[in-house]
Amino acid sequence: MVAIVAKLDDWGKPAWIAAMILGFIVFWPIGLAILFYMIWSGRMGCGYSGAWGESRAERWERKMQRMQEKMARWQQFRERAFGSGAGFASSGNRAFDEYRTETIRRLEDEAKEFRDFLDRLRHARDKAEFDQFMTDRRNRPASPEEPRGDDESPRNG
């Protein structure tokens, strides 16, 4: 029984709700018992404090450990299936593996050259836009000066 509860806890609240619904479908007192258990243990509310004195932090830590274990297993699977690192597993034909490695290296070099080319283009475009701005700024007509009082009004004297 404890194993079932632990497994449902691992799957989370949707698993508990599904178990409760199935309990109601199979025999309504079972569903009712699961519902009462969920309410009594705190699994139903937002204030879940964990079963048997387990705090939220402890439950979160346990979940994180399980996630790290799953990620480690996935990494081991990937390394077995595709070889270690970013490379590929050996095909068994050394000439083909060398060709593949050389082709990938060449493509990576071409990709780097292309990125450098795009950077140069962006820099040239930025420089052209800045030069255009400076030209427009230099060629802008001077702002009209404010009129002086002695030039515009006739003096009575």
- pLDDT the model gives residue 147: 55
Same domain, 10 and 44: yes
Supply the DSSP symbol for 47. Answer: -
pLDDT score, position 49: 52
pLDDT per residue as tens, the chain (157 positions)? 777 777 777 777 788 788 888 888 888 888 888 888 887 777 766 554 555 566 777 777 888 888 889 888 888 887 777 665 556 677 888 999 899 889 999 999 999 999 999 999 999 999 999 999 999 999 887 766 655 555 555 555 4
Please name the residue ranges forming H helices in 42-93: 56-82
Residue 34: domain span: 2-67
Give yes or no for a contact between 4 and 16, defined as CB atoms under 8 angstroms apart.
Answer: no
Q: Which pLDDT score, from 0 to 100, does residue 114 have? A: 92
pLDDT at 83: 60
Last residue of a domain, one of 37, 67, 97: 67
Q: What is the pLDDT of residue 130?
A: 93
- Distances in Å between the Cα of 27 and the Cα atoms of 1, 43, 88, 96 are 18, 22, 54, 63
Residue 77, burial from CB neighbour count under 10 angstroms (0-12, 13-18, 19+)? exposed
Alpha helices in 85-153 (DSSP H): 94-139, 149-152
Give me the number of domains the chain comprises: 2
Report yes or no: 38 and 32 within 8 Å, Cβ to Cβ: no
Answer for the pair 32, 21: CB distance below 8 angstroms, yes or no.
Answer: no
The C-alpha atoms of residue 94 and residue 11 are separated, in whole angstroms, by: 46
Q: How far apart are CA 10 and CA 43, in angstroms?
A: 12
User: Long-range CB contacts (< 8 A, 24+ apart) of 59-68?
Assistant: 66/10
In a domain, 73, yes or no: no
100 and 57: one domain?
no
Is the same domain home to 46 and 94? no
Res 44: pLDDT: 67
Based on the domain organization, do 19 and 57 belong to the same domain? Answer: yes
Tokens of 84: 């270690």
Q: Say if 75 falls within a structural domain.
A: no
